[in-house]
Chains A and B, each alone.
Chain A
């Protein structure tokens, strides 16, 4: 169980106890660093709590493909070591016209170059993978069997438990209120439960990142805004009915799969914001029903049990801001994951831990340069999808 006591000091403090903060604490603690996570609610309570389950390597640029290749290696390794479920049931992108096929051929070429075994498959092959699919309009599909899914809450709990095993302190129900800074150097943090002395702070608050940046007095513009995205779950059905994550850009940027419990879970592209509001909307309920039943007609007769909402912490190019902020030593940011932070977390943890402990990393972290926005060097839009 996470400790409720706030330590008086800690070499490194991570603000935010979601999947990113917790995997990072785990990585740092494992390397022997003294690290504390400060979380205002409970571990995994923010977007991690509301997240889909998807883990994919099918991105459209070299950096993200490399990072996700590494991330999947880590998902595999840690799910085995810590016995939480990570199922490599694949990601299946359904394609409906030549333009889409052309775009995905290029993506697949990049993916293959870095050893991600994505293939373009026929509609019939797609239907073999998910027999419930309606393939009448599908002309091809992009299929990578090594993508997968994991339960975000269980995974976070497993990393949290093992982070503590390596000596990390996870402090719940504690909110960071202010930074203590002297001559451009961090001296500590004021929290709702007292002060903690530290020299190194990592902002892993994703949807709330701009609030923490403002608190730290950071002047560089790092535009991260919270957007409301919603999800739905149906009644549980027989296990194995929909094994991979199924994606359809044509039908509302829909993503859907089946949870370990049996329900069909997913969402669509429908986005509201910027907002911190999390009330599910009627419009989402309507759209998700329409698009899902287009992709899998059998869903028509399934009962919808519930909808809910969570944040995508979005940046202008849908890539996160990961790196050191030079104007305040030692302040780092790992936030703005734009809907695909859960899957990236283990690799991000490795990158940030490398930066903090060695000042460099072998993964292409410069792609996520926090200064790129101010310099006007936006990256190609990362595939923002489940």
Chain B
């Protein structure tokens, strides 16, 4: 077993990879980032301003793979003999082989469901008998955040979450097209239908034409602000759960858990016997190439080799605003403004933790609810009110908005965004009197990088709100623009000559 393996891997799948020249053990099917983690390697890339970065919190992970620069290590699987090297953010491949490209696919469905978590699955199960559906999931599995859990979840009985998901997905019928490892570029209103262009893991562009769209796009983990919070060895809750429960690899031998919801991870750590300490008020992490210690606000130092941030989740608002939805601030996060049928506008529905933070089962019910509304729109019998009633049992979770100890931090070391935007940089602009997030974006590059603000915009808003006293619900939050997720230019270039020129 490798240093951080939690489970024995299938020996027949063993391969050898080389990182910075040295051989390491890996297993077919593993992503580069997890294979390296299993071997105790955390530092994978270096930001433009020279900050060491790992793979399990914000920011991109470009690597040199077999001599080709700028490969996304998070999405690339290991191969026997693969040679891996570190690179900086700005390195790119100057000579490219022009591959043939893949013909653009087209698919007409009644409903396009973006997001394959419990809510998306719920919608599919509700409508599949009468309508055709495409379900689009960015990860390589369906089940969303539920899939990452190891322990039984309320509402789904005593079964393990992955069994629950497999059982639900096993009920999908022939009206359902499942796209895993696939991103949606946005939702475009074409009048007669909605265009939802998607890109599969094989870089194929498929144009889905759908009469209705469901945004079951989920929530994203909060980024907690402390010094060197971007350092290799810092894990978001979801990334930590993924390496543990999907890949059978420990984030570290001894970890610190920080953030407002440590219980979301500690039970899992106990289950696997991973040694941990909960630190309520982190100030700084330190180490040479990765986290070696965490220091709290009282000056206590904890020797750990990873830090897991479990600070709650907030709805991913980017797909909402791109699709034309409006936002309001409620319970500590921005949520879509919905009509009485869970729509942001005619034809576009929202369900799950994209609406509010609540248990997986409630998100599943909400998916069914939205499905029922859609069935009714198409003239089929459906009973949304039964789901509405059951949903009333679940009061959405409030997420605390932290008061940032702005004057106690070394603001240059606290990273607010994965693209070399420090808290200090943002705070200085706000302190100079600029409080419009649009201008702050331009001046600091906050929310202008790889994540389009998915992880950093909220904290930017908190800085403005805290410094100016403006309530969060009165801030003008910039809307997301397509593409919702980064894509290689060759993918969208494909097949255009037919109609350009």
Asked if A282 and B442 make an inter-chain contact with CB atoms under 8 angstroms apart, the answer reads no
Does the CB pair A301–B490 fall under 8 Å?
yes
Any A CB within 8 A of the CB of B247? no
Q: How large is the interface on A (under 10, 10 to 19, 20 to 34, 35 or more residues)?
A: 35 or more
CB distance from A150 to the nearest CB of B (A): 14
Question: Does B288 reach chain A (CB closer than 8 Å)?
Answer: no
- Whether the Cβ atoms of B488 and A301 lie closer than 8 Å is yes
Contacts A45-B438, A282-B188 given; does A302 touch B92 at CB 8 Å: yes
Indicate if the CB atoms of A293 and B91 lie closer than 8 Å: no
B40: Cβ under 8 A from any A Cβ:
no
Identify which of residues 443-501 in chain B touch chain A, using a CB-to-CB cut-off of 8 Å. 443, 445, 448-450, 452, 481-483, 486-493, 496-497, 500-501
State in angstroms the CA–CA spacing of A136 and B501 once bound together. Answer: 19
B448 touches A153 (CB 8 A): no
State which of B93-101, B264-272, B351-359 sits at the interface with chain A.
Answer: B93-101
**A298 x B96 contact (CB < 8 A):** yes
B483 and A238: CB pair below 8 A? no
- Map CB proximity to B onto A346-366 as digits: 1 under 8 Å, 0 otherwise: 000000000000000000000
Interface hub of B448, B490, B492 (most chain A Cβ within 10 A) = B492
A305 touches B98 (CB 8 A): no
Q: Is B185 an interface residue (CB 8 A)?
A: yes
Question: Which among A279, A285, A308 is the interface contact of B185 at CB below 8 angstroms?
Answer: A285
B309-335 interface (Cβ within 8 A of A) = 324
Give A307 to B480 CA distance when docked, in angstroms: 9
Query: Is B436 interfacial (CB-CB < 8 Å)?
Result: yes
Q: Is the pair A299, B489 in contact by a Cβ cutoff of 8 Å?
A: yes
Residue of A nearest to B434 (CB): A1
If over half of A's interface residues share one DSSP class (helix, strand or loop), that class is named, otherwise mixed; here it is mixed
CA A160 to CA B28, docked complex, whole Å: 59
B37 on interface, CB distance cutoff 8 Å: no
Which of A45, A297, A306 has most B Cβ within 10 Å? Answer: A306
Does A208 sit at the interface, judged by CB under 8 A?
A: no
From B89, B98, B197, A300 is in contact (CB under 8 Å) with B98
* With A285-B482, A289-B493, A293-B489 as contacts: A132 and B448 at CB distance below 8 Å: no
In the complex where A280-B482, A289-B492, A290-B496 touch, is A301 in contact with B90 (Cβ < 8 A)? Answer: no
Chain B 26-40 interface mask (CB, 8 Å, partner A; 1/0):
000000000000000
- The answer, yes or no, to whether B60 is at the interface (CB within 8 Å) is yes
A112 interface residue per 8 A CB criterion: no
Q: Are A304 and B496 in contact (CB under 8 A)?
A: no
Considering the chains assembled together, what is the distance between the CA atoms of A224 and B186 in angstroms?
32
**Shortest beta-carbon contacts, A-B, top 9:** A290-B496, A300-B490, A289-B492, A289-B493, A303-B486, A238-B90, A290-B493, A237-B92, A293-B493
Residues of A participating in the B interface, judged by any CB pair closer than 8 Å: 1, 42, 45, 49, 131-132, 153, 233-239, 241, 252, 261-262, 279-282, 285-287, 289-293, 297-308
A-B pairs with beta carbons under 8 Å apart, 18 shown: A153-B442, A153-B443, A252-B501, A280-B482, A281-B188, A282-B186, A282-B188, A290-B493, A290-B500, A299-B489, A300-B488, A300-B493, A301-B92, A303-B488, A304-B488, A305-B452, A307-B482, A307-B483
